[in-house]
Structure 1
Protein backbone atom coordinates (compact mmCIF):
# COMPACT_ATOMS: atom_id res chain seq x y z
CA UNK A 1 0.00 0.00 0.00
CA UNK A 2 1.42 3.37 -0.97
CA UNK A 3 1.05 6.55 1.05
CA UNK A 4 -1.87 7.87 -1.01
CA UNK A 5 -3.85 4.64 -0.51
CA UNK A 6 -3.07 4.76 3.19
CA UNK A 7 -4.44 8.29 3.45
CA UNK A 8 -7.50 7.49 1.35
CA UNK A 9 -8.49 4.85 3.91
CA UNK A 10 -8.20 7.48 6.63
CA UNK A 11 -10.32 10.15 5.04
CA UNK A 12 -7.44 11.71 3.13
CA UNK A 13 -5.55 13.19 6.09
CA UNK A 14 -3.23 12.02 8.85
CA UNK A 15 -0.63 13.25 11.29
CA UNK A 16 3.07 12.74 10.73
CA UNK A 17 3.24 10.32 13.67
CA UNK A 18 0.58 8.09 12.10
CA UNK A 19 2.44 7.98 8.82
CA UNK A 20 5.75 7.19 10.47
CA UNK A 21 4.18 4.41 12.57
CA UNK A 22 2.73 2.96 9.37
CA UNK A 23 6.25 2.66 7.96
CA UNK A 24 6.46 5.68 5.69
CA UNK A 25 9.82 7.43 6.19
CA UNK A 26 10.21 11.21 6.29
CA UNK A 27 11.87 11.01 2.88
CA UNK A 28 8.62 9.62 1.43
CA UNK A 29 6.69 12.51 2.94
CA UNK A 30 9.13 15.02 1.49
CA UNK A 31 8.93 13.32 -1.91
CA UNK A 32 5.13 13.48 -1.80
CA UNK A 33 5.25 17.21 -1.15
CA UNK A 34 7.67 17.73 -4.01
CA UNK A 35 5.67 15.80 -6.59
CA UNK A 36 2.33 17.21 -5.44
CA UNK A 37 0.68 13.99 -4.24
CA UNK A 38 0.73 15.32 -0.65
CA UNK A 39 -0.20 18.65 0.84
CA UNK A 40 0.92 20.04 4.17
CA UNK A 41 -2.13 21.44 5.93
CA UNK A 42 0.10 22.71 8.68
CA UNK A 43 3.13 21.33 10.41
CA UNK A 44 2.48 17.71 11.29
CA UNK A 45 -0.68 17.19 9.19
CA UNK A 46 -0.58 15.78 5.66
CA UNK A 47 -3.54 15.62 3.26
CA UNK A 48 -4.32 14.49 -0.25
CA UNK A 49 -6.68 15.93 -2.83
CA UNK A 50 -10.30 15.17 -1.99
CA UNK A 51 -9.67 14.75 1.74
CA UNK A 52 -12.77 14.53 3.93
CA UNK A 53 -13.48 18.08 5.18
CA UNK A 54 -14.61 16.81 8.58
CA UNK A 55 -11.46 14.75 9.11
CA UNK A 56 -9.30 17.69 8.06
CA UNK A 57 -11.18 20.06 10.38
CA UNK A 58 -10.81 17.69 13.33
CA UNK A 59 -7.07 17.33 12.83
CA UNK A 60 -6.61 21.07 12.33
CA UNK A 61 -8.47 21.78 15.60
CA UNK A 62 -6.63 19.01 17.44
CA UNK A 63 -9.97 17.42 18.24
CA UNK A 64 -12.23 14.56 17.25
CA UNK A 65 -15.53 14.57 15.38
CA UNK A 66 -18.56 13.86 17.54
CA UNK A 67 -22.34 14.30 17.79
CA UNK A 68 -24.01 14.65 14.36
CA UNK A 69 -20.66 15.20 12.63
CA UNK A 70 -19.57 11.68 13.62
CA UNK A 71 -22.79 9.76 13.02
CA UNK A 72 -21.91 8.84 9.43
CA UNK A 73 -18.76 7.02 10.54
CA UNK A 74 -20.95 4.56 12.47
CA UNK A 75 -23.60 4.27 9.72
CA UNK A 76 -26.39 5.45 12.01
CA UNK A 77 -29.75 6.87 10.97
CA UNK A 78 -30.22 10.61 10.69
CA UNK A 79 -33.30 12.69 10.09
CA UNK A 80 -31.34 14.91 7.75
CA UNK A 81 -27.84 14.90 6.39
CA UNK A 82 -25.58 17.29 8.29
CA UNK A 83 -24.56 20.29 6.24
CA UNK A 84 -21.28 19.87 4.50
CA UNK A 85 -18.35 22.25 4.57
CA UNK A 86 -18.37 24.83 1.81
CA UNK A 87 -15.24 25.72 -0.06
CA UNK A 88 -13.64 29.15 -0.01
CA UNK A 89 -15.68 31.65 -1.97
CA UNK A 90 -18.97 29.87 -1.30
CA UNK A 91 -21.92 32.21 -0.86
CA UNK A 92 -23.42 29.91 1.74
CA UNK A 93 -22.13 29.97 5.28
CA UNK A 94 -20.74 26.59 6.32
CA UNK A 95 -22.69 24.53 8.82
CA UNK A 96 -21.16 24.10 12.25
CA UNK A 97 -19.00 21.06 12.78
CA UNK A 98 -19.27 19.20 16.06
CA UNK A 99 -15.95 18.45 17.73
CA UNK A 100 -14.59 17.45 21.09
CA UNK A 101 -11.45 19.52 21.55
CA UNK A 102 -11.39 19.96 25.30
CA UNK A 103 -9.50 23.23 25.02
CA UNK A 104 -12.38 25.55 25.78
CA UNK A 105 -11.33 27.85 22.93
CA UNK A 106 -14.12 29.41 20.89
CA UNK A 107 -13.80 28.60 17.18
CA UNK A 108 -16.00 30.01 14.45
CA UNK A 109 -18.20 27.33 12.91
CA UNK A 110 -17.38 24.76 15.61
CA UNK A 111 -19.60 23.32 18.35
CA UNK A 112 -17.09 22.16 20.96
CA UNK A 113 -18.48 19.36 23.10
CA UNK A 114 -17.28 18.02 26.42
CA UNK A 115 -14.19 15.87 26.64
CA UNK A 116 -14.60 12.28 25.53
CA UNK A 117 -14.54 9.64 28.24
CA UNK A 118 -14.67 6.46 26.13
CA UNK A 119 -12.28 4.87 23.61
CA UNK A 120 -12.41 6.62 20.26
CA UNK A 121 -12.37 5.34 16.70
CA UNK A 122 -9.38 3.04 16.15
CA UNK A 123 -7.72 5.12 13.43
CA UNK A 124 -9.82 8.20 12.62
CA UNK A 125 -10.17 11.45 14.60
CA UNK A 126 -13.69 10.42 15.56
CA UNK A 127 -15.11 10.02 19.06
CA UNK A 128 -16.18 6.60 20.28
CA UNK A 129 -19.79 5.58 19.76
CA UNK A 130 -20.79 6.13 23.40
CA UNK A 131 -19.49 9.70 23.40
CA UNK A 132 -21.10 10.42 20.03
CA UNK A 133 -24.50 9.34 21.37
CA UNK A 134 -24.13 11.14 24.70
CA UNK A 135 -23.14 14.36 22.95
CA UNK A 136 -26.06 14.04 20.51
CA UNK A 137 -28.54 13.46 23.34
CA UNK A 138 -27.33 16.60 25.11
CA UNK A 139 -27.03 18.73 21.99
CA UNK A 140 -29.66 17.91 19.39
CA UNK A 141 -33.47 18.22 19.40
CA UNK A 142 -35.21 15.23 20.93
CA UNK A 143 -36.43 13.49 17.79
CA UNK A 144 -33.13 13.96 15.99
CA UNK A 145 -31.11 12.45 18.84
CA UNK A 146 -33.71 9.72 19.37
CA UNK A 147 -33.34 8.48 15.79
CA UNK A 148 -29.55 8.35 16.12
CA UNK A 149 -29.64 6.41 19.39
CA UNK A 150 -32.40 4.09 18.13
CA UNK A 151 -30.22 3.12 15.19
CA UNK A 152 -27.34 2.14 17.46
CA UNK A 153 -29.60 0.23 19.85
CA UNK A 154 -31.41 -1.61 17.04
CA UNK A 155 -28.05 -2.82 15.71
CA UNK A 156 -27.03 -4.06 19.15
CA UNK A 157 -24.11 -1.63 19.40
CA UNK A 158 -25.14 -0.19 22.77
CA UNK A 159 -27.96 -0.29 25.32
CA UNK A 160 -30.13 2.44 26.76
CA UNK A 161 -29.33 1.19 30.27
CA UNK A 162 -25.64 1.89 29.68
CA UNK A 163 -26.36 5.36 28.33
CA UNK A 164 -28.60 6.17 31.29
CA UNK A 165 -25.75 5.41 33.69
CA UNK A 166 -23.72 8.05 31.86
CA UNK A 167 -26.50 10.63 31.92
CA UNK A 168 -27.26 11.17 35.59
CA UNK A 169 -28.37 14.40 37.25
CA UNK A 170 -30.95 17.08 36.54
CA UNK A 171 -29.11 18.54 33.55
CA UNK A 172 -29.47 15.23 31.72
CA UNK A 173 -33.20 14.84 32.38
CA UNK A 174 -34.18 15.61 28.78
CA UNK A 175 -31.60 13.12 27.47
CA UNK A 176 -32.96 10.36 29.72
CA UNK A 177 -36.50 11.20 28.60
CA UNK A 178 -35.43 10.68 24.97
CA UNK A 179 -33.93 7.31 25.91
CA UNK A 180 -37.30 6.25 27.33
CA UNK A 181 -38.71 6.56 23.80
CA UNK A 182 -36.23 4.08 22.29
CA UNK A 183 -37.93 0.90 21.10
CA UNK A 184 -36.59 -2.61 21.72
CA UNK A 185 -36.70 -3.02 17.95
CA UNK A 186 -37.13 -0.57 15.09
CA UNK A 187 -36.41 -1.45 11.47
CA UNK A 188 -36.41 2.15 10.28
CA UNK A 189 -36.34 5.68 11.64
CA UNK A 190 -39.99 5.98 10.57
CA UNK A 191 -41.03 3.44 13.16
CA UNK A 192 -39.51 5.17 16.16
CA UNK A 193 -40.81 8.57 15.01
CA UNK A 194 -44.33 7.34 14.32
CA UNK A 195 -44.43 5.48 17.63
CA UNK A 196 -43.40 8.64 19.48
CA UNK A 197 -46.01 10.80 17.74
CA UNK A 198 -48.82 8.29 18.32
CA UNK A 199 -47.97 7.69 21.98
CA UNK A 200 -47.83 11.40 22.66
CA UNK A 201 -51.29 11.74 21.13
CA UNK A 202 -52.58 9.41 23.85
CA UNK A 203 -52.97 6.36 21.61
CA UNK A 204 -52.29 2.75 22.57
CA UNK A 205 -49.62 1.52 20.19
CA UNK A 206 -48.11 -1.92 19.64
CA UNK A 207 -45.25 -2.31 17.19
CA UNK A 208 -44.40 -5.31 15.00
CA UNK A 209 -47.63 -7.17 15.71
CA UNK A 210 -48.21 -10.56 14.09
CA UNK A 211 -51.79 -10.78 12.77
CA UNK A 212 -53.40 -13.99 11.58
CA UNK A 213 -53.78 -14.02 7.81
CA UNK A 214 -51.90 -10.72 7.48
CA UNK A 215 -48.42 -11.23 8.87
CA UNK A 216 -46.38 -8.70 10.81
CA UNK A 217 -47.64 -5.13 10.71
CA UNK A 218 -45.67 -2.03 11.69
CA UNK A 219 -48.18 -0.54 14.15
CA UNK A 220 -51.46 -1.65 15.68
CA UNK A 221 -53.26 1.31 17.23
CA UNK A 222 -56.00 0.90 19.81
CA UNK A 223 -56.26 -2.76 18.75
CA UNK A 224 -58.32 -1.82 15.70
CA UNK A 225 -56.23 0.25 13.26
CA UNK A 226 -53.21 -1.04 11.35
CA UNK A 227 -50.70 1.63 10.34
CA UNK A 228 -48.01 0.68 7.84
CA UNK A 229 -44.96 2.89 7.31
CA UNK A 230 -43.81 2.63 3.73
CA UNK A 231 -40.26 3.26 2.59
CA UNK A 232 -38.94 3.40 -0.96
CA UNK A 233 -39.16 -0.38 -1.44
CA UNK A 234 -42.93 -0.22 -0.94
CA UNK A 235 -43.22 1.71 -4.20
CA UNK A 236 -41.99 -1.26 -6.22
CA UNK A 237 -44.85 -2.91 -8.17
CA UNK A 238 -44.43 -6.29 -6.51
CA UNK A 239 -44.44 -4.76 -3.02
CA UNK A 240 -47.43 -2.53 -3.85
CA UNK A 241 -49.41 -5.61 -4.87
CA UNK A 242 -48.38 -7.44 -1.70
CA UNK A 243 -49.38 -4.47 0.46
CA UNK A 244 -52.82 -4.30 -1.15
CA UNK A 245 -53.49 -7.95 -0.40
CA UNK A 246 -52.34 -7.40 3.19
CA UNK A 247 -54.75 -4.46 3.46
CA UNK A 248 -57.55 -6.71 2.22
CA UNK A 249 -56.66 -9.32 4.80
CA UNK A 250 -56.63 -6.70 7.55
CA UNK A 251 -60.09 -5.46 6.64
CA UNK A 252 -61.36 -9.03 6.33
CA UNK A 253 -60.12 -9.59 9.88
CA UNK A 254 -62.12 -6.61 11.14
CA UNK A 255 -59.30 -4.06 11.20
CA UNK A 256 -58.88 -0.75 9.45
CA UNK A 257 -55.65 0.09 7.63
CA UNK A 258 -53.71 3.25 6.79
CA UNK A 259 -50.36 3.83 5.07
CA UNK A 260 -47.88 6.66 5.59
CA UNK A 261 -44.65 7.61 3.86
CA UNK A 262 -41.40 9.30 4.88
CA UNK A 263 -42.66 12.82 4.18
CA UNK A 264 -45.76 12.18 6.29
CA UNK A 265 -43.88 10.88 9.33
CA UNK A 266 -40.96 13.31 9.19
CA UNK A 267 -42.42 16.51 7.77
CA UNK A 268 -46.16 16.27 8.47
CA UNK A 269 -46.56 14.32 11.72
CA UNK A 270 -49.43 16.48 13.01
CA UNK A 271 -51.44 15.80 9.87
CA UNK A 272 -50.71 12.09 10.17
CA UNK A 273 -51.80 11.95 13.81
CA UNK A 274 -54.94 14.00 13.14
CA UNK A 275 -55.89 11.66 10.31
CA UNK A 276 -55.47 8.62 12.57
CA UNK A 277 -57.58 10.29 15.27
CA UNK A 278 -60.27 11.11 12.72
CA UNK A 279 -60.49 7.50 11.55
CA UNK A 280 -60.68 6.27 15.15
CA UNK A 281 -63.49 8.73 15.90
CA UNK A 282 -65.41 7.52 12.84
CA UNK A 283 -65.05 3.98 14.05
CA UNK A 284 -66.18 4.92 17.56
CA UNK A 285 -69.48 6.35 16.30
CA UNK A 286 -70.11 3.40 13.98
CA UNK A 287 -69.32 4.85 10.57
CA UNK A 288 -67.53 1.63 9.60
CA UNK A 289 -70.40 -0.66 10.58
CA UNK A 290 -73.01 -0.19 7.83
CA UNK A 291 -74.78 -3.49 8.53
CA UNK A 292 -75.89 -2.14 11.89
CA UNK A 293 -77.38 1.03 10.42
CA UNK A 294 -78.54 -0.22 7.03
CA UNK A 295 -79.88 -3.78 7.39
CA UNK A 296 -79.93 -5.66 4.13
CA UNK A 297 -76.69 -4.30 2.71
CA UNK A 298 -74.88 -7.54 3.52
CA UNK A 299 -76.43 -10.78 2.18
CA UNK A 300 -77.06 -13.38 4.89
CA UNK A 301 -74.30 -15.97 5.19
Structure 2
Protein backbone atom coordinates (compact mmCIF):
# COMPACT_ATOMS: atom_id res chain seq x y z
CA UNK A 1 0.00 0.00 0.00
CA UNK A 2 1.34 3.43 -0.91
CA UNK A 3 1.20 6.44 1.42
CA UNK A 4 -1.79 8.02 -0.29
CA UNK A 5 -3.92 4.88 0.03
CA UNK A 6 -2.83 4.40 3.63
CA UNK A 7 -3.88 7.94 4.51
CA UNK A 8 -7.19 7.39 2.76
CA UNK A 9 -7.83 4.44 5.09
CA UNK A 10 -7.20 6.83 8.01
CA UNK A 11 -9.65 9.53 6.86
CA UNK A 12 -6.78 11.28 5.12
CA UNK A 13 -4.50 12.04 8.06
CA UNK A 14 -1.94 10.27 10.23
CA UNK A 15 0.90 11.03 12.60
CA UNK A 16 4.52 10.36 11.77
CA UNK A 17 4.55 7.58 14.36
CA UNK A 18 1.59 5.85 12.75
CA UNK A 19 3.20 6.05 9.32
CA UNK A 20 6.56 4.76 10.54
CA UNK A 21 4.86 1.88 12.34
CA UNK A 22 3.06 1.02 9.10
CA UNK A 23 6.45 0.62 7.38
CA UNK A 24 6.94 3.96 5.66
CA UNK A 25 10.36 5.57 6.10
CA UNK A 26 11.13 9.23 6.73
CA UNK A 27 12.72 9.38 3.29
CA UNK A 28 9.47 8.14 1.76
CA UNK A 29 7.54 10.80 3.67
CA UNK A 30 9.89 13.54 2.51
CA UNK A 31 9.58 12.41 -1.09
CA UNK A 32 5.77 12.21 -0.88
CA UNK A 33 5.63 15.80 0.38
CA UNK A 34 8.05 16.98 -2.31
CA UNK A 35 6.00 15.26 -5.02
CA UNK A 36 2.79 16.82 -3.73
CA UNK A 37 1.22 13.46 -2.91
CA UNK A 38 0.70 14.42 0.75
CA UNK A 39 0.88 17.58 2.83
CA UNK A 40 2.73 18.15 6.07
CA UNK A 41 0.08 19.74 8.28
CA UNK A 42 2.57 20.51 11.02
CA UNK A 43 5.34 18.67 12.76
CA UNK A 44 4.31 15.07 13.22
CA UNK A 45 1.12 15.04 11.08
CA UNK A 46 0.66 14.30 7.37
CA UNK A 47 -2.56 14.67 5.35
CA UNK A 48 -3.83 13.81 1.90
CA UNK A 49 -5.63 16.20 -0.43
CA UNK A 50 -9.00 14.57 0.38
CA UNK A 51 -8.48 14.55 4.14
CA UNK A 52 -11.53 14.71 6.41
CA UNK A 53 -11.78 18.39 7.45
CA UNK A 54 -12.87 17.54 11.02
CA UNK A 55 -9.93 15.19 11.48
CA UNK A 56 -7.57 17.83 10.12
CA UNK A 57 -9.07 20.46 12.43
CA UNK A 58 -8.58 18.18 15.43
CA UNK A 59 -4.93 17.54 14.55
CA UNK A 60 -4.36 21.24 13.95
CA UNK A 61 -5.86 22.11 17.35
CA UNK A 62 -3.92 19.32 19.07
CA UNK A 63 -7.28 18.05 20.29
CA UNK A 64 -9.74 15.19 19.92
CA UNK A 65 -13.15 15.15 18.32
CA UNK A 66 -15.83 14.35 20.86
CA UNK A 67 -19.54 14.64 21.62
CA UNK A 68 -21.68 14.82 18.47
CA UNK A 69 -18.64 15.55 16.24
CA UNK A 70 -17.27 12.10 17.04
CA UNK A 71 -20.54 10.20 16.59
CA UNK A 72 -19.98 9.16 12.99
CA UNK A 73 -16.65 7.51 13.80
CA UNK A 74 -18.50 5.04 16.03
CA UNK A 75 -21.61 4.83 13.82
CA UNK A 76 -23.75 6.44 16.49
CA UNK A 77 -27.18 7.83 15.66
CA UNK A 78 -27.60 11.60 15.71
CA UNK A 79 -30.61 13.84 15.31
CA UNK A 80 -28.99 16.70 13.43
CA UNK A 81 -25.74 18.04 12.01
CA UNK A 82 -23.41 19.14 14.80
CA UNK A 83 -22.84 22.59 13.31
CA UNK A 84 -19.91 23.69 15.45
CA UNK A 85 -16.95 21.41 16.00
CA UNK A 86 -16.87 19.70 19.39
CA UNK A 87 -13.31 19.20 20.64
CA UNK A 88 -11.42 18.24 23.75
CA UNK A 89 -8.17 20.21 23.48
CA UNK A 90 -5.08 19.39 25.48
CA UNK A 91 -4.44 23.11 26.07
CA UNK A 92 -7.95 23.69 27.38
CA UNK A 93 -8.03 27.02 25.53
CA UNK A 94 -11.23 28.15 23.87
CA UNK A 95 -11.11 28.33 20.07
CA UNK A 96 -13.35 30.29 17.78
CA UNK A 97 -16.17 28.22 16.30
CA UNK A 98 -15.40 25.27 18.58
CA UNK A 99 -17.44 23.83 21.46
CA UNK A 100 -14.78 22.95 23.98
CA UNK A 101 -15.20 19.91 26.21
CA UNK A 102 -13.27 18.80 29.25
CA UNK A 103 -10.38 16.41 29.43
CA UNK A 104 -10.77 12.85 28.15
CA UNK A 105 -10.02 10.14 30.68
CA UNK A 106 -10.80 6.95 28.74
CA UNK A 107 -8.83 5.24 25.95
CA UNK A 108 -9.10 7.20 22.72
CA UNK A 109 -9.62 5.96 19.17
CA UNK A 110 -6.68 3.77 18.16
CA UNK A 111 -5.42 5.95 15.31
CA UNK A 112 -7.66 9.02 14.85
CA UNK A 113 -7.82 12.20 16.95
CA UNK A 114 -11.19 11.04 18.30
CA UNK A 115 -12.10 10.59 21.94
CA UNK A 116 -13.02 7.13 23.18
CA UNK A 117 -16.69 6.23 23.00
CA UNK A 118 -17.10 6.56 26.79
CA UNK A 119 -15.84 10.14 26.78
CA UNK A 120 -17.86 10.92 23.66
CA UNK A 121 -21.08 9.85 25.37
CA UNK A 122 -20.33 11.50 28.71
CA UNK A 123 -19.64 14.76 26.90
CA UNK A 124 -22.83 14.37 24.84
CA UNK A 125 -24.93 13.73 27.95
CA UNK A 126 -23.62 16.92 29.54
CA UNK A 127 -23.75 19.04 26.38
CA UNK A 128 -26.64 18.11 24.08
CA UNK A 129 -30.41 18.36 24.50
CA UNK A 130 -31.77 15.27 26.22
CA UNK A 131 -33.16 13.44 23.19
CA UNK A 132 -30.10 14.15 21.05
CA UNK A 133 -27.88 12.63 23.73
CA UNK A 134 -30.30 9.75 24.25
CA UNK A 135 -30.16 8.50 20.66
CA UNK A 136 -26.35 8.52 20.74
CA UNK A 137 -26.28 6.46 23.94
CA UNK A 138 -28.98 4.12 22.65
CA UNK A 139 -26.97 3.50 19.50
CA UNK A 140 -23.84 2.68 21.49
CA UNK A 141 -25.75 0.32 23.79
CA UNK A 142 -27.42 -1.36 20.81
CA UNK A 143 -23.97 -1.97 19.32
CA UNK A 144 -22.75 -3.34 22.68
CA UNK A 145 -20.00 -0.71 22.81
CA UNK A 146 -20.75 -0.15 26.51
CA UNK A 147 -23.60 -0.35 29.02
CA UNK A 148 -25.75 2.21 30.79
CA UNK A 149 -24.50 0.84 34.12
CA UNK A 150 -20.96 1.71 33.09
CA UNK A 151 -21.98 5.25 32.15
CA UNK A 152 -23.92 5.70 35.39
CA UNK A 153 -20.82 4.70 37.35
CA UNK A 154 -18.98 7.54 35.61
CA UNK A 155 -21.68 10.11 36.42
CA UNK A 156 -21.98 10.19 40.23
CA UNK A 157 -23.42 12.89 42.46
CA UNK A 158 -26.34 15.29 42.35
CA UNK A 159 -24.89 17.37 39.52
CA UNK A 160 -25.20 14.38 37.19
CA UNK A 161 -28.75 13.52 38.23
CA UNK A 162 -30.28 14.76 34.98
CA UNK A 163 -27.82 12.82 32.84
CA UNK A 164 -28.45 9.62 34.78
CA UNK A 165 -32.16 10.20 34.21
CA UNK A 166 -31.53 10.24 30.47
CA UNK A 167 -29.83 6.86 30.76
CA UNK A 168 -33.00 5.42 32.29
CA UNK A 169 -34.74 6.04 28.94
CA UNK A 170 -32.42 3.67 27.05
CA UNK A 171 -34.19 0.53 25.80
CA UNK A 172 -32.78 -3.01 25.98
CA UNK A 173 -33.22 -3.14 22.21
CA UNK A 174 -33.85 -0.45 19.61
CA UNK A 175 -33.37 -0.99 15.89
CA UNK A 176 -33.56 2.72 15.06
CA UNK A 177 -33.50 6.08 16.78
CA UNK A 178 -37.23 6.35 15.99
CA UNK A 179 -38.00 3.54 18.41
CA UNK A 180 -36.33 5.04 21.46
CA UNK A 181 -37.79 8.47 20.71
CA UNK A 182 -41.31 7.16 20.18
CA UNK A 183 -41.11 5.07 23.34
CA UNK A 184 -40.00 8.14 25.30
CA UNK A 185 -42.77 10.35 23.93
CA UNK A 186 -45.49 7.73 24.48
CA UNK A 187 -44.47 6.79 28.02
CA UNK A 188 -44.20 10.45 29.02
CA UNK A 189 -47.78 10.87 27.80
CA UNK A 190 -48.81 8.21 30.32
CA UNK A 191 -49.27 5.39 27.80
CA UNK A 192 -48.37 1.74 28.33
CA UNK A 193 -45.91 0.74 25.63
CA UNK A 194 -44.35 -2.59 24.73
CA UNK A 195 -41.68 -2.71 22.03
CA UNK A 196 -40.99 -5.46 19.49
CA UNK A 197 -44.12 -7.44 20.29
CA UNK A 198 -44.88 -10.61 18.33
CA UNK A 199 -48.55 -10.31 17.36
CA UNK A 200 -50.20 -13.53 16.12
CA UNK A 201 -50.96 -13.33 12.42
CA UNK A 202 -49.06 -10.06 12.05
CA UNK A 203 -45.51 -10.75 13.19
CA UNK A 204 -43.26 -8.46 15.18
CA UNK A 205 -44.52 -4.89 15.52
CA UNK A 206 -42.52 -1.88 16.64
CA UNK A 207 -44.87 -0.69 19.42
CA UNK A 208 -47.99 -2.02 21.06
CA UNK A 209 -49.71 0.82 22.90
CA UNK A 210 -52.21 0.09 25.68
CA UNK A 211 -52.46 -3.48 24.35
CA UNK A 212 -54.83 -2.38 21.58
CA UNK A 213 -53.00 -0.07 19.16
CA UNK A 214 -50.09 -1.02 16.93
CA UNK A 215 -47.70 1.81 16.06
CA UNK A 216 -45.22 1.13 13.26
CA UNK A 217 -42.21 3.40 12.76
CA UNK A 218 -41.33 3.34 9.09
CA UNK A 219 -38.04 4.16 7.41
CA UNK A 220 -37.33 4.83 3.75
CA UNK A 221 -37.62 1.16 2.72
CA UNK A 222 -41.28 1.16 3.76
CA UNK A 223 -42.03 3.45 0.81
CA UNK A 224 -41.00 0.78 -1.70
CA UNK A 225 -44.05 -0.75 -3.46
CA UNK A 226 -43.30 -4.30 -2.30
CA UNK A 227 -42.96 -3.18 1.33
CA UNK A 228 -46.08 -0.98 1.14
CA UNK A 229 -48.09 -4.01 0.01
CA UNK A 230 -46.65 -6.14 2.83
CA UNK A 231 -47.45 -3.45 5.41
CA UNK A 232 -51.04 -3.20 4.19
CA UNK A 233 -51.54 -6.94 4.56
CA UNK A 234 -50.07 -6.74 8.07
CA UNK A 235 -52.53 -3.94 8.85
CA UNK A 236 -55.38 -6.13 7.63
CA UNK A 237 -54.19 -9.01 9.83
CA UNK A 238 -54.04 -6.71 12.84
CA UNK A 239 -57.56 -5.46 12.18
CA UNK A 240 -58.83 -9.04 12.02
CA UNK A 241 -57.32 -9.55 15.45
CA UNK A 242 -59.00 -6.45 16.83
CA UNK A 243 -55.93 -4.18 16.73
CA UNK A 244 -55.82 -0.81 15.02
CA UNK A 245 -52.58 0.33 13.36
CA UNK A 246 -50.94 3.72 12.88
CA UNK A 247 -47.78 4.42 10.87
CA UNK A 248 -45.29 7.23 11.51
CA UNK A 249 -42.14 8.36 9.72
CA UNK A 250 -38.92 10.13 10.64
CA UNK A 251 -40.37 13.61 10.31
CA UNK A 252 -43.32 12.70 12.54
CA UNK A 253 -41.24 11.22 15.37
CA UNK A 254 -38.35 13.68 15.28
CA UNK A 255 -39.96 16.95 14.23
CA UNK A 256 -43.64 16.64 15.18
CA UNK A 257 -43.83 14.33 18.21
CA UNK A 258 -46.63 16.34 19.83
CA UNK A 259 -48.88 15.78 16.82
CA UNK A 260 -48.01 12.07 16.76
CA UNK A 261 -48.81 11.63 20.45
CA UNK A 262 -51.99 13.67 20.04
CA UNK A 263 -53.21 11.38 17.25
CA UNK A 264 -52.48 8.26 19.30
CA UNK A 265 -54.39 9.68 22.26
CA UNK A 266 -57.31 10.61 20.00
CA UNK A 267 -57.51 7.07 18.60
CA UNK A 268 -57.46 5.60 22.10
CA UNK A 269 -60.21 7.96 23.26
CA UNK A 270 -62.34 6.99 20.26
CA UNK A 271 -61.82 3.33 21.05
CA UNK A 272 -62.82 3.82 24.69
CA UNK A 273 -65.93 5.70 23.56
CA UNK A 274 -66.95 2.76 21.36
CA UNK A 275 -66.61 4.62 18.08
CA UNK A 276 -64.85 1.62 16.54
CA UNK A 277 -67.56 -0.77 17.74
CA UNK A 278 -70.08 -2.49 15.46
CA UNK A 279 -72.91 -0.49 13.94
CA UNK A 280 -76.37 -1.17 15.33
CA UNK A 281 -78.90 -1.60 12.57
CA UNK A 282 -82.46 -0.59 13.44
CA UNK A 283 -85.18 -2.49 11.65
CA UNK A 284 -87.66 -0.10 10.06
CA UNK A 285 -91.15 -1.32 9.41
CA UNK A 286 -92.33 -0.87 5.84
CA UNK A 287 -94.82 1.98 5.32
CA UNK A 288 -98.40 0.99 5.64
CA UNK A 289 -100.50 1.11 2.53
Q: CA deviation at 1:294?
A: 4.2
Query: 1:230-269, aligned counterparts within 5 Å?
Result: 230-269=218-257
Distance 2:69 2:121 in 1: 11
Distance 2:281 2:213 in 1: 23
SS of residue matched to 2:77: coil
In the superposition, relative to structure 1, how do residues 129 and 255 fare at CA in structure 2: closer, same or farther (>3 Å)? Answer: same
1:125 corresponds to 2:105: no
Partner residue, 1:10: 10
Q: Could you tell me the TM-score, scaled by structure 1's length? A: 0.90
In the superposition, relative to structure 1, how do residues 41 and 250 fare at CA in structure 2: closer, same or farther (>3 Å)? Answer: same
CA RMSD of aligned residues (A): 1.4
Q: CA deviation at 1:241?
A: 1.1
Partner residue, 1:98: 86
Query: 1:146-225, aligned counterparts within 5 Å?
Result: 146-225=134-213
Instruction: Select between 266-275 and 170-179 the one with higher mean Cα deviation.
Output: 170-179
* Contact 1:211–1:217 (Cα < 8 Å) also in 2: yes
Distance 2:71 2:273 in 1: 47
Distance 2:179 2:143 in 1: 15
Distance 1:272 1:258 in 2: 10
Q: Which stretches of structure 1, 4 residues or more, deviate above 6 A after TM superposition?
A: none
Gaps of 5+ in 2: 284-289
1:111-160 Cα deviation digits (max 9, x unpaired) = 12111111111111111111111111111111111111111111222111
Gaps of 5+ in 1: 83-94, 297-301
Q: CA deviation at 1:168?
A: 1.0
1:8-30 Cα deviation digits (max 9, x unpaired) = 11111122232233332222222
Distance 1:65 1:11 in 2: 13
* Contact 1:32–1:38 (Cα < 8 Å) also in 2: yes
Partner residue, 2:286: none
Distance 2:153 2:27 in 1: 49
Tell me the matched-pair count.
Answer: 283
Q: Could you tell me the TM-score, scaled by structure 2's length? A: 0.94
Distance 2:282 2:98 in 1: 69
Q: CA deviation at 1:295?
A: 6.0
* Contact 1:102–1:114 (Cα < 8 Å) also in 2: no
1:66-113 Cα deviation digits (max 9, x unpaired) = 11111101111111233xxxxxxxxxxxx3211111322111111121
